[in-house]
Amino acid sequence: IAGITQAPTSQILAAGRRMTLRCTQDMRHNAMYWYRQDLGLGLRLIHYSNTAGTTGKGEVPDGYSVSRANTDDFPLTLASAVPSQTSVYFCASSGDSQTDTQYFGPGTRLTVL
Amino acid sequence: GQNIDQPTEMTATEGAIVQINCTYQTSGFNGLFWYQQHAGEAPTFLSYNVLDGLEEKGRFSSFLSRSKGYSYLLLKELQMKDSASYLCAFTDSNYQLIWGAGTKLIIKP
Protein backbone atom coordinates (compact mmCIF):
# COMPACT_ATOMS: atom_id res chain seq x y z
CA ILE A 1 0.00 0.00 0.00
CA ALA A 2 1.46 3.35 -1.07
CA GLY A 3 2.06 5.93 1.60
CA ILE A 4 4.47 7.40 4.10
CA THR A 5 6.14 5.55 6.93
CA GLN A 6 7.89 7.02 9.93
CA ALA A 7 10.16 5.43 12.52
CA PRO A 8 10.27 5.13 15.40
CA THR A 9 6.63 5.37 16.50
CA SER A 10 7.71 6.81 19.81
CA GLN A 11 10.96 7.48 21.63
CA ILE A 12 12.14 8.68 25.02
CA LEU A 13 15.48 10.42 24.77
CA ALA A 14 17.92 11.89 27.28
CA ALA A 15 18.78 15.55 26.78
CA GLY A 16 22.00 16.03 24.85
CA ARG A 17 21.63 12.84 22.81
CA ARG A 18 21.55 12.76 19.02
CA MET A 19 18.43 11.36 17.36
CA THR A 20 17.35 10.76 13.77
CA LEU A 21 13.70 10.42 12.86
CA ARG A 22 13.17 8.47 9.66
CA CYS A 23 10.62 9.15 6.94
CA THR A 24 10.11 7.20 3.72
CA GLN A 25 7.47 7.64 1.01
CA ASP A 26 6.75 5.43 -1.98
CA MET A 27 4.47 7.79 -3.92
CA ARG A 28 7.34 9.34 -5.91
CA HIS A 29 6.38 12.75 -4.53
CA ASN A 30 8.83 15.55 -5.20
CA ALA A 31 8.18 17.58 -2.07
CA MET A 32 8.59 16.46 1.54
CA TYR A 33 8.11 18.24 4.86
CA TRP A 34 8.76 17.89 8.56
CA TYR A 35 6.30 19.41 11.06
CA ARG A 36 6.02 19.43 14.80
CA GLN A 37 2.67 19.51 16.54
CA ASP A 38 2.32 20.81 20.09
CA LEU A 39 -0.85 21.10 22.16
CA GLY A 40 -2.70 24.34 21.46
CA LEU A 41 -0.52 25.25 18.50
CA GLY A 42 -0.92 24.60 14.81
CA LEU A 43 1.43 22.38 12.89
CA ARG A 44 4.73 24.21 12.50
CA LEU A 45 7.06 23.58 9.59
CA ILE A 46 10.61 22.64 10.58
CA HIS A 47 12.28 21.93 7.24
CA TYR A 48 11.13 21.10 3.75
CA SER A 49 12.51 19.77 0.48
CA ASN A 50 11.02 20.68 -2.88
CA THR A 51 12.97 17.97 -4.71
CA ALA A 52 15.76 15.49 -4.10
CA GLY A 53 19.05 17.26 -3.39
CA THR A 54 17.48 20.48 -2.08
CA THR A 55 16.27 21.49 1.38
CA GLY A 56 14.92 24.65 2.99
CA LYS A 57 14.20 26.05 6.42
CA GLY A 58 10.69 26.40 7.73
CA GLU A 59 9.27 28.35 10.65
CA VAL A 60 11.16 26.55 13.46
CA PRO A 61 14.41 25.07 12.07
CA ASP A 62 16.79 25.69 15.00
CA GLY A 63 18.20 22.51 16.52
CA TYR A 64 17.14 20.36 13.55
CA SER A 65 18.78 19.33 10.30
CA VAL A 66 17.59 17.36 7.28
CA SER A 67 18.97 15.75 4.14
CA ARG A 68 17.35 14.60 0.91
CA ALA A 69 19.73 12.24 -0.84
CA ASN A 70 16.97 10.60 -2.89
CA THR A 71 13.26 11.01 -3.66
CA ASP A 72 11.97 8.54 -1.09
CA ASP A 73 13.79 9.39 2.17
CA PHE A 74 13.81 12.55 4.27
CA PRO A 75 15.42 12.01 7.70
CA LEU A 76 15.23 14.63 10.45
CA THR A 77 18.15 14.85 12.89
CA LEU A 78 18.26 16.43 16.32
CA ALA A 79 21.97 16.99 16.93
CA SER A 80 21.69 17.51 20.68
CA ALA A 81 18.15 17.07 21.97
CA VAL A 82 16.62 19.52 24.47
CA PRO A 83 13.37 19.17 26.48
CA SER A 84 11.65 21.85 24.35
CA GLN A 85 11.90 19.45 21.43
CA THR A 86 9.40 17.14 23.12
CA SER A 87 6.60 16.98 20.56
CA VAL A 88 4.83 14.88 17.96
CA TYR A 89 6.68 14.98 14.65
CA PHE A 90 4.91 14.47 11.36
CA CYS A 91 6.50 13.89 7.99
CA ALA A 92 4.44 14.77 4.92
CA SER A 93 4.83 14.69 1.16
CA SER A 94 3.13 16.24 -1.86
CA GLY A 95 3.40 15.95 -5.61
CA ASP A 96 5.14 19.29 -5.82
CA SER A 97 5.68 22.27 -3.57
CA GLN A 98 2.84 24.33 -4.97
CA THR A 99 -0.80 23.59 -4.22
CA ASP A 100 -0.78 19.81 -4.18
CA THR A 101 -2.36 18.12 -1.18
CA GLN A 102 0.07 17.08 1.53
CA TYR A 103 -0.16 13.49 2.79
CA PHE A 104 1.04 12.74 6.29
CA GLY A 105 2.88 9.89 7.92
CA PRO A 106 1.62 8.40 11.21
CA GLY A 107 3.91 10.56 13.35
CA THR A 108 6.68 10.05 15.90
CA ARG A 109 6.03 10.94 19.53
CA LEU A 110 9.32 12.16 21.00
CA THR A 111 9.95 12.88 24.66
CA VAL A 112 13.21 14.52 25.71
CA LEU A 113 14.02 14.28 29.40
CA GLY B 1 2.20 39.57 9.20
CA GLN B 2 -0.02 36.59 8.71
CA ASN B 3 -2.22 34.64 11.04
CA ILE B 4 -5.06 32.15 11.07
CA ASP B 5 -7.75 31.62 13.66
CA GLN B 6 -10.39 28.99 14.38
CA PRO B 7 -12.42 28.11 17.50
CA THR B 8 -10.70 25.82 19.98
CA GLU B 9 -13.64 23.50 20.61
CA MET B 10 -17.21 22.93 19.47
CA THR B 11 -19.93 20.53 20.55
CA ALA B 12 -22.74 19.18 18.35
CA THR B 13 -25.37 16.46 18.41
CA GLU B 14 -25.35 13.29 16.33
CA GLY B 15 -27.44 13.78 13.17
CA ALA B 16 -27.19 17.57 13.29
CA ILE B 17 -25.23 20.10 11.20
CA VAL B 18 -22.18 22.02 12.39
CA GLN B 19 -20.19 24.85 10.82
CA ILE B 20 -16.55 25.37 11.75
CA ASN B 21 -15.21 28.81 10.88
CA CYS B 22 -11.69 29.83 9.97
CA THR B 23 -10.41 33.37 9.44
CA TYR B 24 -7.02 34.33 8.13
CA GLN B 25 -4.85 37.33 7.34
CA THR B 26 -2.05 37.22 4.81
CA SER B 27 -0.50 39.36 2.09
CA GLY B 28 -0.21 36.38 -0.26
CA PHE B 29 -2.80 33.62 -0.64
CA ASN B 30 -2.77 30.53 -2.83
CA GLY B 31 -5.56 28.38 -1.45
CA LEU B 32 -7.08 26.99 1.73
CA PHE B 33 -7.12 23.41 2.98
CA TRP B 34 -9.21 21.59 5.57
CA TYR B 35 -7.86 18.45 7.24
CA GLN B 36 -9.38 16.06 9.76
CA GLN B 37 -7.28 14.65 12.59
CA HIS B 38 -8.50 11.96 14.96
CA ALA B 39 -6.82 11.83 18.35
CA GLY B 40 -3.40 10.18 18.14
CA GLU B 41 -3.49 9.98 14.36
CA ALA B 42 -2.14 11.92 11.38
CA PRO B 43 -4.08 14.70 9.63
CA THR B 44 -6.01 13.54 6.56
CA PHE B 45 -7.11 15.75 3.66
CA LEU B 46 -10.75 16.85 3.45
CA SER B 47 -10.99 19.75 1.01
CA TYR B 48 -9.19 22.48 -0.92
CA ASN B 49 -10.58 25.86 -2.01
CA VAL B 50 -8.75 28.38 -4.16
CA LEU B 51 -11.73 30.23 -5.69
CA ASP B 52 -14.61 31.87 -3.84
CA GLY B 53 -17.61 29.69 -3.30
CA LEU B 54 -18.80 26.38 -1.94
CA GLU B 55 -17.20 23.00 -2.65
CA GLU B 56 -19.42 20.07 -1.75
CA LYS B 57 -18.11 16.58 -1.12
CA GLY B 58 -20.69 14.21 0.33
CA ARG B 59 -21.56 15.17 3.90
CA PHE B 60 -18.75 17.73 4.00
CA SER B 61 -18.72 21.13 2.28
CA SER B 62 -16.14 23.92 2.39
CA PHE B 63 -16.67 27.60 1.62
CA LEU B 64 -14.16 30.33 0.85
CA SER B 65 -14.39 34.12 0.65
CA ARG B 66 -10.99 35.51 -0.34
CA SER B 67 -12.07 39.13 0.06
CA LYS B 68 -13.15 38.50 3.66
CA GLY B 69 -10.30 36.13 4.58
CA TYR B 70 -12.89 33.61 5.69
CA SER B 71 -13.64 29.95 5.23
CA TYR B 72 -15.93 27.44 6.84
CA LEU B 73 -16.30 23.69 6.91
CA LEU B 74 -19.87 22.41 7.03
CA LEU B 75 -20.53 18.91 8.30
CA LYS B 76 -24.01 17.46 7.78
CA GLU B 77 -25.72 14.41 9.29
CA LEU B 78 -23.11 14.21 12.00
CA GLN B 79 -21.90 10.78 13.03
CA MET B 80 -19.99 9.79 16.15
CA LYS B 81 -16.95 9.03 13.99
CA ASP B 82 -16.82 12.74 13.05
CA SER B 83 -15.50 13.47 16.54
CA ALA B 84 -12.03 14.78 15.70
CA SER B 85 -10.01 17.94 15.33
CA TYR B 86 -10.47 19.94 12.13
CA LEU B 87 -7.48 21.92 10.91
CA CYS B 88 -7.59 24.77 8.44
CA ALA B 89 -4.46 25.94 6.65
CA PHE B 90 -3.75 28.45 3.90
CA THR B 91 -0.96 28.41 1.35
CA ASP B 92 1.03 31.63 1.53
CA SER B 93 2.94 33.50 -1.18
CA ASN B 94 5.89 31.11 -0.72
CA TYR B 95 3.55 28.14 -1.15
CA GLN B 96 4.08 27.05 2.44
CA LEU B 97 1.11 25.97 4.52
CA ILE B 98 0.24 28.10 7.54
CA TRP B 99 -1.84 26.05 9.98
CA GLY B 100 -4.51 26.95 12.47
CA ALA B 101 -4.40 25.29 15.91
CA GLY B 102 -7.41 23.15 15.06
CA THR B 103 -11.00 22.92 16.26
CA LYS B 104 -11.84 19.95 18.45
CA LEU B 105 -15.34 18.77 17.54
CA ILE B 106 -17.20 16.75 20.16
CA ILE B 107 -20.26 14.82 18.99
CA LYS B 108 -22.86 13.88 21.58
CA PRO B 109 -25.52 11.18 21.10
Task: Tell which residue, B54, B61, B81, B50, has the closest CA to residue B18.
Answer: B61
Determine contact, residues B96/A48, Cβ cutoff 8 Å. Answer: yes
Q: What's the gap in Å between the CA of B99 and the closest CA on chain A?
A: 5
Percent of the residues in chain A that have a pLDDT greater than 70, as a whole number = 96
Contact B91 A58 (CB under 8 A): no
Provide φ and ψ at A85, rounded to 5°: -90, 5
Contact B89 A41 (CB under 8 A): no
pLDDT at A2: 67
Q: What's the gap in Å between the CA of A90 and the closest CA on chain B?
A: 7
Average pLDDT over residues B41-49: 95
Nearest residue, CB atoms, A42 vs list B31, B41, B99: B99
**Alpha carbon distance A70, B51 (integer Å):** 35
DSSP B16: S
pLDDT in tens, A12-63: 999 999 999 999 999 999 999 999 999 888 899 999 999 999 999 999 999 9
Average pLDDT over residues B83-97: 91
A104 and B CB contact within 8 Å? yes
Residue type, B48: Y
Average pLDDT over residues A86-109: 90
Determine contact, residues A57/A28, Cβ cutoff 8 Å. Answer: no
Provide φ and ψ at B10, rounded to 5°: -140, 150
**Alpha carbon distance B23, B4 (integer Å):** 6
